[in-house]
Structure 1
Amino acid sequence: MSEVISLIGLVGGLALLIVLTLRGWNLFISAPLCALIVAFSSNIPVFTGDINFVQNYMAGFTGFIASWFFMFLLGSIFGKFMEDTGAADSVAAWITGLLGKQRAVLAVVAACAVLTYGGVSLFVVAFAVYPMALSLFKEANLPRRFIPAALAFGSVTFTMTSAGSPEIQNWIPIEYLGTTPYAAWEVSLVVAVFMAVFGYWWLQRIINSAVKRGEHFQERSSDPQLVDRELPHPATGLLPLLVVLGLSFIYHDTLMQNALIIALLGGVISLMIINWRFFTNLQAALGNATTGALIAIGNTAAVVGFGGVARVTPAFDLAVAAVTSLPGNELVGAAIAVSAIAGLTGSASGGQVIALPAVGPHYLDLGVNPEQLHRVVAISSGALDSLPHNGYVVTTIRGICNESHKDAYWAVGAVTVVVPLMGLSLAILLFNLF
């Protein structure tokens, strides 16, 4: 009976968190409140004992900040410097002239895809590309509420989980399955192309429908005001991005996540050197960047804290045991297990790390091809993880783009949940046919 109540509390707390997030509640209030409901339903004490609400919530909260603070800070500074110097506007104008205003969305998606596949962290990509995306959407007069969807689609779908990607979601299975980052690359290539083409078509269709209803770009007082001033050459905005990409690629294998600190620091310094005379207010840019980084990482850490409490409940263990022992097709079972856990934790990597110790040996003993299992696990981790409470989704929509979930999430969900699920289905179909 206690396990049933715990399960009701876990599902109810998660559902309430999603609803409150969509309604725009402050995550510093809603996330711990929902985590407290989960704790009460599982008889987890608030303060006392080896496992308690405060300890586990704050372990998740502070652990995320400890791991990501410098990346968030430097990424935010890089983005603000791109804004303040006019480099973002210059690159946007150059791309618009090259591709035409009707290709603004493609430019944003492509920029995110290149940086993501080059090894730059998903969070950092959003910080770096947002200023350019804002300028492109303004230039094309597109509704700004779709910027998060364009950023997310280029970062967490066809690049994040495809063969060869240096993102952690493609590397975690290696430890458990003995594979390589290029596991099942043939099927992965087909799936990646499908997700890229179909997802872009669908996103463009969603945006075009909004434009036909009369939506357009709406400026805000907080937007960078760079009217009637000399802009730097577009290359001065592209070169720092290449510095970030190059340094991340060079140091990724040796320093892993810490390579991003070097890469972003290099990008910030190169941007300052190249565009020093174009700064309008360096101190204000640093102040705004710091505030933005703190808000973004705080919102995300609040949600991660919820996951820290959820993981120590009896219901969570029950759910993991249930989804990792599903009968039927092994690849389907693995996909369901990883997707479900990623959805519960709001984390693609979290879903893999929790599921693989049980799923990996079990299915390998049954004779499942490890390369096929690797690719299915990777792709499935990037689907239900993008529910409204996901840390990346919260950061991108609220912390970076300053949009509401109500306005921005549905397009994000379409291209980061539905499209990857379709890609996952295609991958399983191809593996079973050939």
Structure 2
Amino acid sequence: MVLSFVGLIGGLALLVYLTLKGLNLLVVAPLCALFVAVLSGLSIFPQTTEGDAATFLNNYMNSFADFVASWFPMFLLGAIFGKVMGDSGSAQSVSKWVIGKLGIERAVLAIVLACAVLTYGGVSLFVVAFSVYPMAISLFQQANLPRRFIPATLAFGSVTFTMTSAGSPEIQNWIPIEYLDTSPYAGWEVSIIVALFLATTGYWWLKKMIKRAQENGEEFEEREDDPDQSNRELPNPLLSVVPLVIVLLLSFFLHGTLEKSALIVALLGGVVSLYVLNRKYFQDFANALSEGTTGALVAIGNTAAVVGFGGVAQASPAFERSVEAMTNIPGSPLVGGAIAVSVIAGLTGSASGGQVIALPILAPHYLDMGVNPEALHRTIAISSGALDSLPQNGYVVTTIRAICDETHQRAYWAMGALTVVLPLIGAILAIVLFTFGLGI
């Protein structure tokens, strides 16, 4: 068992370290998973074991393949939508309109609000990043802001004050309902306070980090594949924003019946409407489709590689013992639940994974103790969105590397401050407020 713990903790630490170093995740993730498997006593190949016993190859590849099978259509259409927004000039048109209305000094605010609206409207976090990035790169370029802060800006608007808030259609807010018999609006009074705290504090912190970088001489760095900001003719900004609205509305209204498959219809509607409305402004539509497809393959490959690591980690004896220990923490149930879900989310690299693993054990135990289910729902939802955003998290890797073409060394520290540190403080604030009886 000791070796299994060494393998689990060491493998995770090694994955985080190598991710920060910028090594290829399709190589390092399975190697780190193999490290976990060997020290945990798991067989490498299914042919060397009997029955349905866990093996490195089966667990890694099954988790890898399941993720690709579940999410590839959304990744593909999301990447294509982002590319055609840029190639048609629609992203630049919207960004110039925003600059004209809000002012160049509020470029960051515009990106955060765009991400927040799409996320709270039910659009997947990955798709939000693909969709808003073209506008973000244009706004950062016009405002001459250091581009390494784009991933942090996208993530702040998507995974902090919206993803786990009351009423959010994201799965991190819906998973607890099944186990606690609550509603998506559970603990809404505390949720509003925490969301306002995260939004205002996070925006202040993000602006402060960007300002400090500018004072140190950092500016926007031009790249060959950046959107053309010359005097090219741009489409009408209102017609350019229509496809984004279509994605939002279709996702929102179809979510109840099609669930995540609603994104396929929504994104397809966005691509088709964009082509119909602004087809004469495309520079190279075929090339945009090609680049979007390539980007989707890279993004989902990197993410699935990390998911595969989680599949092996969950099969280790140390992980099972860790879950048992985390879900039996003495003291306040809200504190215990928050710690358990957050730590498990960190080990699996997934906020939803942390909830799905912990809640079947936590929920009946804590409900029998008389814990308020709404308080537990909101605390667990908020805390799940903290340690899940460590460097190896699939969304983090996809946003930094595949979408923004940045490195972890340059982009992660600002992103980690806003998506790990800030939500941890938000979870503590929620626990304090619930402890004093607010919303109960």
TM-score range, shorter chain: over 0.9
2:8 is aligned with what amino acid?
L
Corresponding residue of 1:364:
367
Which of 395, 415, 427 aligns to 1:412? It is 415
Corresponding residue of 1:16:
14
Corresponding residue of 1:254:
257
Corresponding residue of 1:181:
184
| 1:16-415 equivalence runs, <5 A | 16-48=14-46, 49=49, 50=52, 51-415=54-418
- Structure 1 residue 97: Cα displacement: 1.2
- Structure 1 residue 227: Cα displacement: 2.0
In structure 1, what is the Cα distance between the partners aligned to 2:213 and 2:178? 45
- Structure 1 residue 278: Cα displacement: 0.5
In structure 1, what is the Cα distance between the partners aligned to 2:231 and 2:145? 22
In structure 2, what is the Cα distance between the partners aligned to 1:227 and 1:99? 22
1:120 is aligned with what amino acid?
V
1:344 is aligned with what amino acid?
L
**Preserved contact between residue 86 and residue 226 of structure 1 (Cα < 8 Å):** no
Output one character per residue of 1:285-324: Cα deviation in whole Å (capped at 9) or x when no partner.
1110100010000000000000010000000000000000
In structure 1, what is the Cα distance between the partners aligned to 2:286 and 2:333? 56
1:23 is aligned with what amino acid?
K
Output one character per residue of 1:126-167: Cα deviation in whole Å (capped at 9) or x when no partner.
000000000000000000000000000000010000000000
**Preserved contact between residue 47 and residue 53 of structure 1 (Cα < 8 Å):** yes
- Structure 1 residue 228: Cα displacement: 2.5
In structure 1, what is the Cα distance between the partners aligned to 2:21 and 2:324? 32
**Preserved contact between residue 199 and residue 419 of structure 1 (Cα < 8 Å):** yes
Output one character per residue of 1:325-347: Cα deviation in whole Å (capped at 9) or x when no partner.
00011100000000000000000
3-state DSSP of counterpart to 1:172: helix
- Structure 1 residue 224: Cα displacement: 2.6
In structure 2, what is the Cα distance between the partners aligned to 1:321 and 1:9? 18
Matched pairs, number:
432
- Structure 1 residue 226: Cα displacement: 4.8
In structure 1, what is the Cα distance between the partners aligned to 2:226 and 2:71? 26
TM-score of the pair, normalised by structure 1: 0.99
In structure 2, what is the Cα distance between the partners aligned to 1:411 and 1:235? 33
1:203 is aligned with what amino acid?
L
- Structure 1 residue 102: Cα displacement: 1.0
**Preserved contact between residue 32 and residue 57 of structure 1 (Cα < 8 Å):** yes
1:35 is aligned with what amino acid?
A
Q: Name structure 2 gaps, 5 residues minimum.
A: none
In structure 1, what is the Cα distance between the partners aligned to 2:174 and 2:137? 32
**Preserved contact between residue 138 and residue 227 of structure 2 (Cα < 8 Å):** no
TM-score of the pair, normalised by structure 2: 0.97
In structure 2, what is the Cα distance between the partners aligned to 1:422 and 1:408? 21
- Structure 1 residue 4: Cα displacement: 1.0
Percent of residue pairs bearing the same amino acid type: 66
Q: Name structure 1 gaps, 5 residues minimum.
A: none
- Structure 1 residue 229: Cα displacement: 1.2
In structure 2, what is the Cα distance between the partners aligned to 1:65 and 1:224? 29
In structure 2, what is the Cα distance between the partners aligned to 1:66 and 1:328? 41
1:89 is aligned with what amino acid?
Q
Range with bigger deviation, 222-231 or 375-384? 222-231
2:10 is aligned with what amino acid?
G
- Structure 1 residue 225: Cα displacement: 2.7
